[in-house]
A and B are shown apart, each in its own frame.
Chain A
Amino acid sequence: MSVARAVPAWFSDEERTVLEAACARLIPSGDTPGATEAGVADYIEGLLGAFLVDPPRIWAGGPFSGRFGGPDGFAEFQPLSRIDELAWRTRIEGSLGIPEREFNGPVRGLQQIYSDGLAELGRDFAQVSPDEQDSRLRAAKSFRRVLYDHCCEGMYGAPEYGGNRDLVGWRSIDYPGDVQPRGWTDEEVSEP
């Protein structure tokens, strides 16, 4: 079995299947698209595998995305400085016993948090009933908080980060997203 991705693979196919099922419970599909249609799992995998690409997928470029005019600058990610890279590698990979990452003690990275969290949900998570899925998500409280935060970012953040595919997150709530360089006219600002 292989899983379709729009970003370089970080998770095993088995983990990715659990991840997609969990995201689909947190932001379900229905009359409007949910985490599945928005590709929220790609957002998360893009973050955990940020350093699989260069420049790393941390900060999208500027000043415009091209969606409301101007050139598409978001697509080109910004290079990190030496210290930025240290911070983001520590946050994502953990401190791993590397002294320069442990100046205030060990840091558990997102890769470990996800690996443990997905294991806590169970390898059979995608196969069990929705009620069982919800009860496992309720039990995995601290991982669920991390996952839900990332689901919200992947659903309603800029699509260049991997989620909000075809802008379904923004469209489902009638949100225009980044509007530069068009902006809003004075009438659009002041009138109902």
Chain B
Amino acid sequence: MTVDAVIVGSGPGGSTAADILTAAGWSVVVIEKGRNHLLDKDDPTKLASDYSNDEIKFIYRHFLGPDPLIEPRTFRRGEKDGDHMHIGDVNTIPSTVGGGGPHADGKVPRFREEDFALKSTYGPVDGAEVEDWPLEYADLEPYYAEVERLIGVAGEAGANPFASWRSGPYPMSPGAPMYGATLSSAAAEKLGLHPYPAPTAANSVPYDGRPACNNCGFCAFFGCPIHAKGDPVAMLRRALSSGRAELWAETFVSRIRSEDGRATGVDFIGPDGVERSMDARHVVVAGGAIETPRLLLLSGLDHPVLGRNLMFHFQTFAVGTFDFALHGHRGRAVTHVHDDAVIVDADARDAARKAGLPWIRGGLVEHGGPSLPVMEAKNYPWGIRHKQLMKSSPMREHLWAFTMQGEDLPQRSNRVDLDPTVRDVRGFPVARVTYEPHKHELVASAHHGPRLVRVLETMGATWTTSMTSPAATGTPGRHRISPVPESRHVMGTTRMGTDPNTSVVDGFGRLHELENVVVADSSVFVTSAGYGPTLTLVALAARAAHAMAG
């Protein structure tokens, strides 16, 4: 059997490609190394019931995978750390049917026009590989609109004064604002900022055969028990319902086979542990910006930029405690955001100049409160203090926070390669991440962090602090903040471009070296912008799949 396309990875990118290709009449096999907890095993048009409001299962027992014991990654900041300084979880996103979709809290902002043209808009930065993308916002806008409808996004057009133009409204209006967000938004507006309802992939009304979100609060890191979250369930379910797609879960693709400049299929290991091969006319790779370059490297591809320019978001947290309860456990985890820290205004230019940089950009700021008691408890000391603190709850019930998803500049030395010694459970070399932030990220964080603290003070915080992830000092801090990034946003590593010498794929995700291999995830990003990557990677995957289908 030769299928038209084998799609490696069932996350938002792979599922979108599957939907569009099957709609065009292609036969596809979607291969996913993780388990299927999303769709009914016997009838893929039905949703599974494995997700739950269960902190133990999702946070401490690796339910959505990968389990770092059997599929570790390694991390180092640079050569100075030797082969690696850490083995285990390195910014992993779930390895499960649906990929990163089920675990995210579903904020799906678009990028802005300038995000695709940083070099021509603001100029180059020493030590960073800042480039324009080989496409413009206008090229992507129709696909943004298409995938917002496919996923089901709730938002309010016109509420964000910095947003780029839209061809139409959001498919749904926003859900209920969280109490804390109503206060933090008011405080932000008082200081001249522009908060708005976060574009969110959670139904505010019944949509696409799934119910409205009922505000249970278990969004980030959890699969939605009632499937109100617009993870890739819509695209994957439609692809499987077409009768032209199969889903193979618990199956690991170990190699893309190629001959004379074309891919011919893949080698894979199924749930039984046996290695097999299949033929395919096209291969779509959608494993995320760490597993995708790993597979290309395992397949013997050799390109000077492959695996390089790995980007995360450099996160800045501002945290405040209050003498009244904010009940952050009710609602969609984050209902408000603001874009002001993305904007290169006079203050930001001034801070950049003082630091010897041409410009700095922060990122989207999310307004939210923590909600999980086990996570809270582990941060407190043991003994009598534990009881007192859990009762007064300064770090959960009385806490509100901002998270800035700071733009992370691409650097050649930040990369994914194959670890020289560490293996996964199937015996293959694991991905090694080498990463250290650029000065830009540190300066932008230091500039915006205190501004976010001021919003919390205006909101009435009695105590505030700010911190970053990874740690700005590069060394592990007192608590959990470590040099290992934890943003769960991964980008770069097979960047797109027109020049085959400086980019790995073209503007449609096609490998310059093997044109029937298409990358359909955030690996192709040229720069990271200050926004979560999901909607943009899905729009790019849709554009790439339409181009494949012709």
Contacts and interface: CB of A to CB of B under 8 A. Distances in A.
Interface in B376-417: 377-378, 382-384, 386-387, 390-391, 393
B214 A62 contact: no
Contact of A181 (B217, B226, B390, B391): B226
A152 B377 contact: yes
B126 interface: no
B302 interface: no
A159 B271 CA distance: 32
A188 B215 CA distance: 9
Interface stretch (A10-18, A118-126, A168-176): A168-176
A189 B335 CA distance: 11
Contact of A190 (B51, B179, B423): B179
Contacts of A172: 390-391
Contacts of B423: 103-104
Contact of A60 (B52, B72, B273): B52
Contact of A83 (B386, B393, B422, B425): B425
A3 B357 CA distance: 66
Contact of B52 (A34, A63, A186): A63
Nearest to B183: A192
- Which among B57, B177, B384 has the highest number of chain A CB atoms within 10 Å? B57
Contacts of B489: none
A59 interface: yes
A63 B384 contact: no
Nearest to B252: A83
Given A25-B382, A62-B52, A192 B179 contact: yes
B61 A59 contact: yes
A81 interface: yes
A26 B52 contact: no
A29 to B, nearest CB: 9
A59 B223 CA distance: 14
Contacts of B72: 104
Scoring B56, B383, B386, B387 by chain A CB atoms within 10 A of each residue's CB, the highest score goes to B56
Given A78-B50, A103-B427, A189-B176, A59 B250 contact: no
Interface in B120-178: 175-178
Interface string B10-33: 000000000000000000000000
B140 to A, nearest CB: 33
Given A87-B70, A173-B373, A186-B176, A157 B55 contact: yes
Contact of A189 (B62, B69, B215, B422): B215
A151 to B, nearest CB: 8
Contact of B250 (A27, A81, A153, A180): A81
B305 interface: no
A72 to B, nearest CB: 11
A58 B134 CA distance: 47
Interface string A107-148: 100000000000000000000000000100100000010001
Interface string A65-104: 1000000011000100111101100110000000000011
Contacts of A60: 52, 54, 56-57
A172 to B, nearest CB: 7
Contact of B273 (A82, A178, A180, A189): A82
Contacts of B216: 178-180, 183-184
Interface in B26-67: 35, 49-57, 60-63, 67
A62 B50 contact: yes
Given A26-B386, A190-B176, A84 B67 contact: yes
Given A34-B387, A83-B425, A91-B69, A181 B225 contact: yes
A192 B324 contact: yes
B182 interface: yes
A58 B179 CA distance: 35
A40 B332 CA distance: 30
A117 B271 CA distance: 37
Contacts of B378: 148-149, 152
Contacts of B178: 189-190
Nearest to B181: A190
B330 A189 contact: yes
B225 A173 contact: no
A63 B377 CA distance: 25
A127 B272 CA distance: 51
Contacts of B226: 63, 180-181
Nearest to A73: B49
A103 B329 CA distance: 41
Interface string B321-334: 00011000111000
A62 to B, nearest CB: 4
Contacts of A178: 52-54, 216, 218
Contacts of A83: 70, 250, 425
Contacts of B51: 62-63
Residue picked from A78, A107, A134, most chain B C-beta under 10 Å: A78
A153 B374 contact: yes
B87 interface: yes
Nearest to A173: B390
A153 B331 CA distance: 23
A32 B391 contact: yes
Contacts of A188: 215, 330
Contacts of B217: 179, 184
A19 B50 CA distance: 32
A13 B215 CA distance: 44
A86 B70 contact: yes
Contacts of B427: 103
Given A30-B387, A178-B52, A173 B214 contact: no
B215 A155 contact: no
Contact of A182 (B63, B70, B214): B214
Contacts of A155: 374, 377
B377 A156 contact: yes
A2 interface: no
Contacts of B272: 82
Nearest to B225: A63
Contact of B331 (A103, A156, A184): A184
A131 to B, nearest CB: 12
A58 B69 CA distance: 15
Given A58-B61, A179-B217, A180-B225, 13 more contacts: A61-B50, A63-B50, A74-B52, A86-B70, A152-B378, A157-B56, A161-B56, A178-B52, A178-B54, A183-B215, A184-B214, A188-B330, A191-B179
10 contacts: A26-B383, A30-B384, A61-B49, A62-B51, A64-B52, A82-B271, A149-B378, A175-B329, A186-B175, A189-B331
Top-10 shortest CB links A-B? A183-B214, A178-B53, A62-B52, A63-B225, A152-B377, A186-B176, A156-B373, A189-B331, A157-B56, A184-B215
